[in-house]
Amino acid sequence: MGEHVTINGPDGAFAAYVAKPAQANGRALVVIQEIFGVNKVMRDLADTYAAQGYLAVVPDLFWRIQPGIDITDQSPEEWQQAFDYFGKFNVDKGVVDIQATIDHIRQTHATIGAVGYCLGGLLAYLTATRTSINASVSYYGVGIQDRLAEATADTKPLLMHVASEDSFVNKEAQAAMKAGLSGHKQIEMHVYEGLDHAFARVGGQHFDAAGAALANERTMAFFAENLS
């Protein structure tokens, strides 16, 4: 069971859910939300990462729209709400808030990773290209194909999980990502054949246990290597 803290960013204060490991070891993760806010899915992910030894912090990145958004993917009405929030969300401001979260965590933890899903997958990519994070993981990030030029020599180690049948990232976008990012020494990309968007979201329509297990195994190995 986690707790809530307040993070002070350059544009104001916002809340974050924090899950603590049984024993602190100096390693932490910023867990970056989907379009449903800091909901039970995100809190459960933070708890899972904490159980694996990481301080896990989930910042409320929708606070400028409405603090405390917490909805699910289980009804058409909530999906409509989620896409409305997504349309109002400022990605660049979100990255500013992620950097503020990193700065907050660095007061007590030297080594910090980031992991994001869906919208958070895009933000995890931008976290690797724009912030002081140590390493970042993107699960089925949306819109990355429009920001490939951001992946420079200064990009932090980045692991990307891509679903081949992603209904929000079409084949053209996937081809652009592969062409634009292949060969980048800091970026590792895995494609999960036959899987759709949010294949790692437990309880989601497209959840795939085998695909999620493989992606999560790769994520933990990546963090073990890059956050030592």
User: Which pairing describes strands 135-139 and 158-163: parallel, antiparallel, or unpaired?
Assistant: parallel
Angle made by CA atoms 93, 170, 39, in degrees to the nearest 5: 45
Give me the residues paired with residue 31 across strands.
Answer: 115
Residue 135 Cα distances to 48, 56, 95, 174, 219, angstroms: 19, 14, 15, 22, 11
Q: Which SS3 state, helix, strand or coil, does residue 168 take?
A: coil
Rounded CA-CA distance 86/40 in Å is 18
Is residue 161 annotated as part of the catalytic site, yes or no? no
Rounded CA-CA distance 118/58 in Å is 15
Residue of 166, 196, 206, 208 marked active site: 166
Residue of 161, 197, 206, 208 marked active site: 197
Is residue 197 annotated as part of the catalytic site, yes or no? yes
Which residues are catalytically annotated?
A: 166, 197
